Chains A and B, each alone.
Chain A
Amino acid sequence: MTTARIDARFAKLKAEGRAGFVTYVMAGDPSRDEALEILRGLPAAGADFIELGFPFSDPMAEGPPIQKAALRGLKAGLTLKGTLALATDFRAVDADTPLILMGYLNPIETMGYPAFAAQCAESGVDGLIVVDCPPEEAGPLTDALDAHHIALIRLATPTTDDQRLKVVAERTSGFVYYVSVAGVTGVKEADAASVAPAVVRVRAASGLPVAVGFGIKTAARAGEVARVADAVVVGSALVEEVDQALSENRSAVSAVLDKVGELAGAVRRARLALESEER
């Protein structure tokens, strides 16, 4: 299955000889208007892909920063339908940046898989990551998404052995998300040394690009991971900017976009730095 925008973006990155930068933000955080302004500003600030979280009341795989962001999103009234409307508003001004929804299964179950997949397609959504839907439970959802050429992006983790990796890689498309720490988002720091062999392993098993996330908080670490991964995902560090800005009465929009600029710079420079070291 092809996922046009995602595949085109990875092809472009390959041509440029660099890793991509994936930014995670939460729908409705801290408000619908500001979230839309952030979304629309992300590509110019350096995001190559956008993951848009849809809030859930019980985010079991998240650490405190994204838990708080989900609560702010819910408080701002962002339902799954509202998140899809936000995606539509983003797509109206950006035709190329891949947009991936990320969240938990229950709101999707509530909407119904076929209706959800159809609305994703209408809203210009390219992919979906569902934290609590392993391959064994994903058959009906994958069927619904396939009908609209939307990628169900699978997760691999440090606990995924070679045998399990085969299961993970089945019916996946777009890219594989490598969760670089066993744990929740935004708490432990990724161990850069263990990331490189894992990326090679996952890439070989899936034949797809590998994005690495969880535990990447600083520009330095983002740069290290960008040397070995096809893309680097940062989430908690961005929603923490929202939190910080709110507590200091600053603009959440510029706080997030400034941070994205800083991290994107590190990701873009990483391979160049590697090449000059090798020379």
Chain B
Amino acid sequence: MTLANEYAWPDDQGRFGPYGGRFVSETLMPAIQELDAAYAAARADPAFQAELDGFLEHYVGRASPLYFAERLTEHFGGARIWLKREDLNHTGAHKINNCMGQILLARRMGKTRIIAETGAGQHGVASATVCARFGLPCTVYMGAVDVERQQPNVFRMKLLGAEVFPVTAGAATLKDAMNEAMRDWVTNVADTYYIIGTAAGPAPYPAMVRDFQSVIGHEIRRQAEAQIGHLPNAVVACIGGGSNAIGAFHPFIGDEGVRLIGVEAAGYGLDTPDHAASLKGGRPGVLHGNRTYLLQDDDGQILEGHSISAGLDYPGIGPEHAWLHDIGRAEYRSTTDQEALDAFQVCSKLEGIIPALEPSHALARAGEIAREVGQDGDIVVLMSGRGDKDIFTVARHLGVEL
């Protein structure tokens, strides 16, 4: 029996082993159950999938290419490196895959108002985009600190007609934005749909976001068979909450020959307090509706993550990654800010592709993984988003004034 047949998570409580679940206030429980039922019905409805496929093809621009990175391959001197080009999607990242699925579900449920949280602004932009497309009002919660450091994305969201609400509570970054979005949801639960941007939160979000992002992994499978002739030896992706990674990994879980490698943000280093590596530097706990690995102190107070990448700067991780980590089906490594900056520049110069800082974390591990796999092998690295949004951050770190 293959692992694919055995692996059937989550269970009916929304748990992946001990992780996941539904840790929300009682006011939200009926809404969570309504969402669960609505998503189950949509998933079983071929018309829903057909509608989603249509928008993914004609609006998002899928399938995204699987591109052979010849010069990176030469540079690293190991396995052939293929880039899965989610950066070429409409809005420039993988986030739109999930937003398109969830907005169609929200419409199906008759919800008339959308809320979302965002860190770097990519999920906020993707949410604002689908809301504009379908004419629904959109409120995006964003930490006030992030609003300051991601001005271009704030302006994009406003152009798209969204209201951007700066959150000043706590440390005023992504986790606080998520708290505030939960507060909005509990207050406006009857008419409001909350588009969570990563594969985390109360069930059914982790599995639902995974399913909507699994288009990535299914395409890699098809493209690898056509372009390489067999499945890749490894799939490598960066992890904040981990939605691009779980979308890429999930269709390969039953293929024991395919290594699945997630890369967390090590910030200034795992030996410092300033990183965002929940698996390598945290322990299990409960936050934002699910049980998972969290950065926290001895009293169970949540710590702020740090990463040069605002998209990885989150103190938790999706519960399915926690489970894949524990059962050993996926491997998890980490990349420091400096390593990510170096990879950002190497990829830009060798391939003519400016990656976002998030996938730069995955790229930074590509060399060692390519060498481990060897020259006869093939590895796929998730290019989860493009780097235009990060040029100001990178310039500052390189001491360049724009």
Contacts and interface: CB of A to CB of B under 8 A. Distances in A.
Interface string B168-184: 01100001100100110
Contacts of B28: 159
Given A105-B286, A134-B26, A137-B23, 11 more contacts: A58-B288, A61-B25, A80-B299, A132-B24, A134-B24, A157-B26, A158-B27, A159-B29, A159-B31, A159-B189, A160-B30
Interface in B270-324: 284-289, 291, 294, 296, 298-302
B187 interface: yes
A137 B24 CA distance: 10
Given A159-B30, A159-B31, A182-B189, A58 B179 contact: yes
Given A137-B22, A183-B186, A110 B300 contact: yes
Interface string B104-116: 0000000000000
A179 B302 contact: no
Nearest to A163: B30
B119 interface: no
B165 to A, nearest CB: 14
A225 interface: no
Contact of B29 (A60, A62, A164): A164
B2 interface: no
A132 B289 contact: yes
Contacts of A179: 26-27
Interface in A39-82: 55-64, 67, 74, 79-81
B27 A105 contact: no
A168 B285 contact: no
A1 B106 CA distance: 43
A136 interface: yes
Interface of B: 13, 21-31, 169-170, 175-176, 179, 182-183, 186-187, 189-190, 284-289, 291, 294, 296, 298-302
A44 to B, nearest CB: 32
Contacts of A107: 299-301
A106 B170 contact: no
Contact of B299 (A58, A64, A79, A132): A79
A155 B25 contact: yes
Contacts of A205: none
Given A56-B301, A57-B302, A182 B30 contact: no
A262 B296 CA distance: 40
Contacts of B22: 134, 136-137
5 contacts: A57-B170, A110-B296, A157-B26, A168-B26, A183-B187
A159 B31 CA distance: 9
Contact of A159 (B27, B169, B182): B27
Contact of B169 (A67, A111, A164, A188): A67
A187 interface: yes
A156 interface: yes
A63 B291 CA distance: 24
Interface in A129-175: 131-134, 136-137, 154-161, 164, 168
A157 B27 contact: yes
Contacts of B291: 109
Most A CB within 10 A of own CB, among B175, B186, B289 = B186
A57 B186 contact: no
Given A60-B183, A136-B22, A159-B189, A106 B27 contact: no
Contacts of B31: 159
A184 interface: yes
Please give me the 3 A-B residue pairs with the lowest Cβ-Cβ distance, nearest first. A110-B300, A107-B300, A183-B187
A188 B187 contact: yes
Nearest to A214: B27
A108 interface: yes
Contacts of B294: 106
Contact of B183 (A80, A110, A111, A184): A184
Nearest to B31: A159
B174 to A, nearest CB: 12
Contacts of A63: 183
Most A CB within 10 A of own CB, among B26, B27, B186, B189 = B26
B72 to A, nearest CB: 40
A132 B183 contact: no
Contacts of B27: 61, 155, 157-159, 179, 182-183
Given A157-B27, A164-B30, A109 B13 contact: no
B300 A106 contact: yes
A157 B26 CA distance: 7
B24 A136 contact: no
A136 B13 contact: yes
Contact of B179 (A60, A105, A108): A60
Given A80-B300, A110-B285, A184 B26 contact: no
A133 B299 contact: no
Nearest to A81: B299
Most A CB within 10 A of own CB, among B285, B286, B288, B291 = B286
